[in-house]
Structure 1
Amino acid sequence: MKASTFVYPWDVNGDPAAPARIAALGVEQVTLAAAYHSTRALTPRHPRHRIVTAEHAAVLYPPDDRWNGRELSPYPAGDWAPGDAYGEAAAALTAAGLEVHTWVVLAHNSRLGADHPGICVVNAYGDRYPWAPCIAQPATRAYLVELAAEAATRPGARGTELESLGWYGLAHLHAHDKTGGVPLGEAAQYLMALCFCPVCRTGYGEQGLDADALAAGVRTALEPLWQGAPDAAEGWPGVEKLLGETTAAATRAWRDEVARTLQEAAVAAVRAAAPTGFQVLLHADPVPFHVGANPGVDPAHILSVADGVVVPCADGPALLTPFAEQGRDGAVIAANVPIVSGMGGDPGGLAAHLTEARRLGATEVRLYHAGLASDADLETVRGALAGR
Structure 2
Amino acid sequence: MKASAFVYPWDVCGDPQAPARIAELGTAQVTLAAAYHSTRALTPRHPRHRIVTAEHAAVLYPAGDHWTGRAIRPYPAGDWAPGDAYGEAAEALARAGLEVHTWVVLAHNSRLGAEHPGTSVVNAYGDRYPWAPCIAQPATRAYLVDLAAEAAVRPGARGTELESLGWYGLAHLHAHDKTGGVGLGDAGQYLMSLCFCPHCRAGYAEQGLDPDELAASVRAALEPLWRGAPDDGGWPGVQKLLGVASAATTRAWRDTTARTLQEAAVVAVRAAAPDGFQVLLHADPVPYHCGANAGVDPAHILSVADGVVVPCTGGTTLLAPFAEQARENTVLAANFTVVSGMGGSPGTLATEAAMAREIGATELRLYHAGLASDGDLAAVREALARL
Q: Give TM-score, length-normalised by structure 2.
A: 0.99
1:352 match = 351
Structure 2: distance between partners of 1:34 and 1:327: 28
TM-superposed deviation, 1:315: 2.2
2:171 match = 171
1:334 match = 333
Is residue 2:87 matched to residue 1:87? yes
Structure 2: distance between partners of 1:377 and 1:119: 40
Structure 2: distance between partners of 1:44 and 1:123: 39
TM-superposed deviation, 1:306: 0.2
Structure 2: distance between partners of 1:127 and 1:143: 23
1:99 match = 99
Other structure's SS at 1:269 match: helix
2:363 match = 364
Contact 2:302 2:326 in 1 (8 A): no
Residues 118-177 of structure 1, C-alpha deviations (whole Å, 9 max, x = no match):
010000000000000000000100000000000000000000000000000001111010
Structure 2: distance between partners of 1:66 and 1:31: 26
Structure 1: distance between partners of 2:340 and 2:97: 27
Contact 1:60 1:84 in 2 (8 A): yes
Aligned length: 387
Letter in 2 for 1:249: A
Other structure's SS at 1:174 match: coil
Other structure's SS at 1:175 match: coil
Residues 355-378 of structure 1, C-alpha deviations (whole Å, 9 max, x = no match):
100001000000000000000000
Contact 1:122 1:128 in 2 (8 A): yes
Residues 44-98 of structure 1, C-alpha deviations (whole Å, 9 max, x = no match):
0000000000000000000011101212000000000000000000000000000
2:302 match = 303
Structure 1: distance between partners of 2:230 and 2:239: 17
1:7 match = 7
Letter in 2 for 1:340: V
Q: Provide structure 2 residue ranges, at least 5 long, that are not aligned to the other structure.
A: none
TM-superposed deviation, 1:330: 0.1
2:156 match = 156
Other structure's SS at 2:121 match: strand
Correspondence 1:138-217 to 2 at 5 A = 138-217=138-217
Structure 2: distance between partners of 1:66 and 1:303: 31
Structure 2: distance between partners of 1:57 and 1:354: 32
Other structure's SS at 1:318 match: coil
Q: Give TM-score, length-normalised by structure 1.
A: 0.99
Other structure's SS at 2:284 match: coil
Q: Provide structure 1 residue ranges, at least 5 long, that are not aligned to the other structure.
A: none
Structure 2: distance between partners of 1:178 and 1:15: 36
Structure 1: distance between partners of 2:230 and 2:235: 17
2:260 match = 261
2:108 match = 108
CA RMSD across the alignment: 0.5
Structure 2: distance between partners of 1:225 and 1:325: 35
Other structure's SS at 1:317 match: coil
Contact 1:33 1:86 in 2 (8 A): yes
Contact 1:71 1:139 in 2 (8 A): no
1:121 match = 121
Contact 2:123 2:194 in 1 (8 A): yes
Is residue 2:236 matched to residue 1:237? yes
Structure 2: distance between partners of 1:133 and 1:364: 31
Correspondence 1:5-84 to 2 at 5 A = 5-84=5-84
1:270 match = 269
Letter in 2 for 1:270: V
Residues 266-306 of structure 1, C-alpha deviations (whole Å, 9 max, x = no match):
00000000001000000000001100000100000000000
Other structure's SS at 2:279 match: strand
Other structure's SS at 2:224 match: helix
Contact 1:182 1:226 in 2 (8 A): yes
Residues 189-228 of structure 1, C-alpha deviations (whole Å, 9 max, x = no match):
0000000000000000111101011100110011111122
Structure 2: distance between partners of 1:53 and 1:234: 36
Structure 1: distance between partners of 2:29 and 2:173: 28
Structure 2: distance between partners of 1:315 and 1:378: 19
My pick for the range that moved more, 26-35 or 65-74, is: 65-74
Letter in 2 for 1:81: A
Other structure's SS at 2:318 match: helix
Contact 1:34 1:152 in 2 (8 A): yes
Structure 1: distance between partners of 2:147 and 2:253: 24
Structure 2: distance between partners of 1:351 and 1:327: 23
Letter in 2 for 1:341: S
Structure 2: distance between partners of 1:369 and 1:4: 10
Contact 1:283 1:310 in 2 (8 A): yes
